[in-house]
Structure 1
Amino acid sequence: MKRNAYVFATACLVGLAGALAGCSSEETANADGEQVIRVGTQNDYPPFAFADDANQLTGYDVDMMKAVDEQLDGYTFEYVAVPWDSMFLALESNKIQAIADQVAKTPERQEKYLFTDESYFAAETVIAVKEGREDIQTIEDLEGKAVGALAGDSYTLLLEEYNETAAEPIELKYSESGNPSEILQDVQNGRVDAYVNDPIMMNAVLEKNDLGVEIVGQPLVNDDMGIVLKDEEKGKELKALIDPILKQLKEDGTLSELSEKWTGGDYIPE
């Protein structure tokens, strides 16, 4: 790919119906004859994927995909904003053909979807609480308390799995908006006791919105993130092309540079 193509699909931001109706499912080619691959990502998950002041999708995950696209002959990427709760359905229905949205490689997801072998980011999972609160430091401290959650993400899955054997289940409060910043505002306002997610994203939101919320305790788990593709012939073809490129971008330092640019640290797994 010698040039990138971008699309900010605002129709994809208004829930499931908009996400699926606003994005064509037919495969297309650009003027250079390159096949267009629609890459789904969120528009409200800084610094990984978000809309900038010009309403363009940007962030680490988007820049990572642009770097892959520069080396990918015969294909061009378009970036489509899709709400998290519609992301996998959009992939299954071919409204998008790839996901780059900090998706952890969980066993459950790997049974259903195709992930790149090469991971492009190593993320932590931490707890955030209202500033000054001292009774929550570990996942055990969350038992019996209200915790903000997004349905289907790896952080929520961790808590759901914990509840299966917990002495007192964590009360998961699922967000209707699917917006992490609103959940962090709920933490500050006392609507929920805590939120579990990635510290880099949460710190970016806390700084931008000047919220009285802080990260506490030690990381609960570490996850490797991969590009998600549909588990079919086309997805396998793309995976075979993308994996060597990701490996090259690790070895030449490109991903480390992007990680430093967007997160202030090098979080690239070996």
Structure 2
Amino acid sequence: MKRILAVVSMCMFLAASGLALAKEWKEVRIGVEGAYPPFSYVQPDGQLAGFDIDIAKALGKAMGVKVTLVAQDWDGIIPGLLAKKYDAIIASMSITEERLKKVGFSHKYYQTPAKFIIKKGTMENFSREAIKGKSVGVQRATIHDKYLTDNYGKDVTIKRYGTQDEAYLDLAAGRVDMLLADSVALSDGFLKKPEGKDYMFIGPDLNDPKWFGNGAGIAIRKEDKDLAEMFNKAIDTIRADGTYKTIQDKYFDFNVYGE
């Protein structure tokens, strides 16, 4: 009886002091977007695929946990995490100071620059004067949206979209002059496709940490520090054993991890 009381007292002490007993993670629910090729997209058979999806599955295997993917629109992806709809987000989410106020992050699992694209022949050289008056499409509530708003909000008309695919459709239809997004997403999701043949990158690589953070990481609730550490170890594991490179080479012909 005394032993039971001692255990109960210890649990009460831990709870009162803010020290939670470590959770044993057997299943990790991961929020994904599914509308950001080549990182995540839905195949004709309805299955999720892409770099983010394969990385999520590989990390789950390295951690020895069951992974359940939960598709979620980008606009609600952080609220869904905080509401415990899932336990982590693997959706090409950049690690920024603004997001760190709301959620925790693993180390980065890839890092690529942002760029503008425009129809060939409509602008020879990129400059603030050249971009003035243009309509620029961007995915809503992203780092690209923040950068565009802060740096060109007074010079251009910003058109915000719920998904990157919607932005591609409007660019091809001539309803917007330019797009700003991740360079790899733009290349694979639009420029390499038939509808993108008349378009090109313009301007410099954009990677200032003030807006673009320190690479894409796995978002977790701040209290789940043990889960963040599990992801950190799993990232190291798949990079060391060749799994990461196998996944990378499936989608890209360059080092997507960065420096």
Q: TM-score range by the shorter chain?
A: 0.7 to 0.9
* 1:56-205 → structure 2 map (5 Å cutoff): 56-73=47-64, 75-116=65-106, 118-135=107-124, 137-138=126-127, 141-163=130-152, 168-175=154-161, 178-205=162-189
| Gap change, CA 1:264 and 1:242, over 3 Å in 2 | same
- Contact 1:256–1:267, Cα closer than 8 Å, also in 2: no
* Correspondence for 2:35: 44
Question: Unpaired runs of 5+ in structure 1?
Answer: 1-32
- TM-score by length of structure 2 reads 0.81
The TM-score, its normalising length taken from structure 1, stands at 0.78
1:114–1:228: 8 Å Cα contact kept in structure 2? yes
Aligned length: 229
Alpha-carbon distance between aligned partners in 2 of 1:249 and 1:141, rounded to the nearest angstrom: 44
Contact 2:28 2:66 in 1 (8 A): yes
CA contact (8 A) 1:39 1:100 kept: yes
1:181-225 alpha-carbon deviations (Å, 9 max, x no partner): 221232233211111001221222223452332222221226511
Q: Distance in 2 between matches of 1:204 and 1:48?
A: 9
Q: Equivalents in 1 of 2:119, 2:218: separation in Å?
A: 33
Judged with a 3 Å threshold, the aligned counterparts in structure 2 of structure 1 residues 40 and 140 are, in CA distance, closer, same or farther, namely: farther
- d(CA) in 1 for partners of 2:159, 2:145: 10
Sort the Cα spacing of 1:140 and 1:225 in 2 relative to 1 into closer, same or farther, 3 A: farther
Per-residue CA distance 1:224-262 (angstroms, 9 max, x = gap): 110111112xx2110121111111222333222311211
Match of 2:254 in 1: 265
Alpha-carbon distance between aligned partners in 1 of 2:159 and 2:148, rounded to the nearest angstrom: 11
Percent of paired sites with the same residue = 25
- In 1, distance between residues paired with 2:130 and 2:181? 16
- Please identify, of 238-247 and 181-190, the stretch whose mean Cα deviation from structure 2 is larger: 181-190
Show the counterpart of 2:217.
226
Matched, 1:214 2:203: no
Gaps of 5+ in 2: 1-23
* Counterpart residue number, 1:242: 231
Shift in CA distance, 109/140, structure 1 to aligned 2, threshold 3 Å? farther
